[in-house]
Amino acid sequence: MREPGDACEPEEVVRSPLPRGPALAGGTVEKRSRTDTLETTLRLLEVESTLRPYLGETGYLQYLTEVTGLSSGELVRRFEAAPEEARRAVQELQAALFEPGVASASVDTSRIEAVLAREEKLSFSGFYGPDLMAEVARYALVVGEVARHEPFDVVHAHDWMTYPAGIVAARISGKPLVVHMHACEYDRSGEHVNERVRALEQLGLGAADRVICVSHYTANTLRTRYQVDPDRLRVVHNAVTHKDQVEGWHWEKHMPEPIVLFLGRVTFQKGPDYFLEAAARVVKVEPRVKFVMSGSGDMLPKMIERSARLGLARHIHFTGFLKGDDVERMYAMADIYVMPSVSEPFGISPLEAMALDVPVILSRQSGVSEILRNALKVDFWDVQDMANKILALIRYPSLARQLTEEGRDELSTFRWDVRGKLVREVYEEVVA
């Protein structure tokens, strides 16, 4: 039992045996009154999935073959060999959610209701959806089965892939639904949105009792693009894991030249092309500077080609996708970190860089820019300003030192336990 305002540890966490992915969580909130305090206990039920943020159809199958060791053909055969009732339920729910040509604000849910009205137990063990959207539907029905048998008071769904599952669980249980918007389709794709994904986002946002946004930037997007009632929006900024030093530290910076780092998905949303344009301007003035682009994505081949055309071949290195210690090693080797995102709901990477004493330049078109003071900020399209700020940090070490020293103190306020208390307040609000 804990006092309100203390860090809330789960009394119990129940997980499915599936590989870890975006999870839908149900929280049981129990309140007990004393003479001068109100104590709260949370029982967390986490239903894991094979879904991952930013997976497309091809990426989903590739990931699934990696975690299961099965070919795409075998995955389809297993789905077809599953109990007929389970397959039919997935197909009907998928048809209801993804019917072609349906406007985002008017997705037909009649077949969802028909599926949920059935009494017989659906068996989903041993197979996955043969494609991404089928897996979204299958996961929703798995969660529906869990919701029939497990006690909870709140349903918390994260991003569009789990919104159908959240809706299903809320309808079965009659409990309030909280959806968490970490990034929307307009962030990922600009004006070239995937209408099926946007439709699911609209469906989840419309069904939610409360919507948690990772920034005011995101909240404004939901108001203007999805017409979400501001009274249902709550902002809880992200945080960063604090480390006094990188565990297992065994590397040093071997290059004497200044290193400027881009680390993230090489996609439209992250603005890698603006990073290259700024780099081209920097090396004309300071040819000793080296640039590193770490990450993978659909724009990577174009960025490699573009760097050659800009004359950056001797000045830039593409590392490809990094994970684990390699990410921290890359941060630690950098002298400057740049986040030139076109649209960033929050942006944890600048905080991760600051945690390793790397000065940061970040896009004003980001949620983290709302709360971060000790960073240099630019409009993503202003590549000359971006280049000027890179040069300033290289030429004036005292500026870089001031940003890292004061940033270290500022970073101490971005704690996950503090953010967790705010999420708990949303839970308590909807069950009150």
**Any idea what the CATH number is for the domain that residue 38 is in?**
3.40.50
Q: Is the pLDDT of residue 60 over 60?
A: yes
**Would residue 49 count as lying in a domain?**
yes
116 domain residue, yes or no: yes
pLDDT band at 229 (very low <50, low <70, confident <90, very high): very high
The pLDDT > 70 percentage for the chain reads 78
How far is the C-alpha of 104 from the C-alpha of 97, rounded, in Å?
Answer: 10
Residue 32: its pLDDT value, please? 38
Q: Does 6 map to a domain? A: no
CATH code for the domain in which residue 371 is found: 3.40.50.2000
Question: Within a domain: residue 298?
Answer: yes
Q: Are 10 and 44 in contact (CB under 8 A)?
A: yes
Q: Which of 40-54, 199-213, 250-264 is predicted most confidently? A: 199-213
Establish if 137 belongs to a structural domain. yes
Is 242 a residue whose pLDDT tops 70? no
Confidence of residue 106 (pLDDT cuts 50, 70, 90): very low
- Does residue 179 share a domain with residue 159? yes
Rounded CA-CA distance 183/194 in Å is 14
State CA 196 to chain mean position distance. 19
- Distance (Å) of CA 132 to CA 16, 60, 76, 78: 19, 6, 12, 15
Residue 286: predicted pLDDT:
96
In the prediction, which pLDDT does 116 show? Answer: 54
Question: Does 402 have pLDDT greater than 90?
Answer: yes
Q: Is the dihedral of CA 296, 300, 301, 307 positive or negative?
A: negative
Identify whether residues 152 and 16 lie together within a single domain. yes
Q: Give the mean pLDDT of 196-210.
A: 92
Quote the CA–CA distance of 63 and 50 in Å, as a whole number: 8
- 203 and 307 housed in the same domain: no
3-state helix, strand, coil split of the chain in percent (to 5) is: 45, 15, 35
**380 and 233 within one domain:** no
> Is residue 7 in a domain?
no
Return the pLDDT at 415. 87
Residue 1 lies in a domain: no
Total residues belonging to the chain: 432
| Closest by CA position to 407, among listed 377, 376, 374 | 374
Range of lowest pLDDT (85-94, 156-165, 396-405)? 85-94
User: What's the rounded Cα separation, in Å, for the pair 242 and 238?
Assistant: 13
* For residue 348, pLDDT beyond 60: yes
Domain count across the chain? 2
Residues 263 and 149 in one domain: no
In this predicted structure, what is the pLDDT of residue 115?
Answer: 58
Instruction: Name the range with the highest mean pLDDT among 141-145, 332-336, 387-391.
Output: 387-391
Phi, psi of 91 (to 5 degrees): -65, -40
392 plus 422 within the same structural domain = no
154's CB contacts (< 8 A; 6+ apart) are 26, 27, 28, 29, 175, 176, 178, 427, 430, 431
Per-residue confidence at 98, pLDDT binned at 50, 70, 90?
low
Question: Which is more confidently placed, 46 or 54?
Answer: 46
Better-scored residue on pLDDT, 181 or 47: 181
Residues 191, 49 share a domain = yes
391 and 287 inside one domain:
yes
Q: Is the pLDDT of residue 256 over 90?
A: no
Q: How confident is the model at residue 127 (pLDDT cuts 50, 70, 90)?
A: low
Q: Which of 31-40, 115-124, 393-402 has the highest mean pLDDT?
A: 393-402
Work out the pLDDT band at 408, boundaries 50, 70, 90. Answer: confident
- State the burial class of residue 26 (Cβ atoms within 10 Å of its Cβ: 0-12, 13-18, 19+): buried
Q: Which helix (H) or strand (E) holds 217?
A: helix 216-226
pLDDT above 50 (res 76) = yes
163 versus 59: the higher-pLDDT residue is: 163
Question: Which tens digit of pLDDT belongs to each residue from 263-280?
Answer: 999 999 999 999 999 999
Q: Predicted confidence band at 251 (pLDDT cuts at 50, 70, 90)?
A: low
Which residue type occupies 65?
T
Q: Is the pLDDT of residue 422 over 70?
A: yes
CA–CA separation, 84 and 98 (whole Å) = 21
- 196 and 324 part of one domain: no
SS3 track for 312-344: CCCCEEEEECCCCHHHHHHHHHCCEEEECCCCE
User: Per residue in 358-373, pLDDT tens?
Assistant: 999 999 999 999 999 9
For 60-69, 198-207, 252-261, which range has the lowest pLDDT when averaged over its residues? 60-69
Give the residue, 134 or 431, on which the prediction is more confident. 431
Q: Say yes or no: 233 and 320 in one domain.
A: no
Long-range contacts at 317-325 (CB < 8 A, ≥ 24 apart): 317/290, 317/291, 317/292, 317/293, 318/292, 318/293, 318/294, 319/292, 319/293, 319/294, 319/295, 320/294, 320/295, 320/296, 321/294, 321/295, 321/296, 322/263, 322/294, 322/295, 325/246, 325/248
* CA dihedral for 230, 231, 234, 235, sign (positive or negative): positive
**pLDDT on residue 48:** 75
Q: Given a cut of 90, is residue 230 above it in pLDDT?
A: yes
DSSP label at 2?
A: B
Q: Rounded to whole angstroms, how far apart are CA atoms 412 and 240?
A: 9
| Same domain, residue pair 187 and 312 | no
pLDDT of residue 322 exceeding 50, the answer is yes
Asked if residue 134 belongs to a domain, the reply is yes
Task: Identify whether residues 276 and 209 lie together within a single domain.
Answer: no
Structural domain of residue 131, as residue ranges? 12-239+417-431
Model pLDDT for residues 163-182, shown as the tens digit of each residue:
999 998 898 888 999 999 99
Is the predicted pLDDT of residue 41 greater than 70, yes or no?
Answer: no
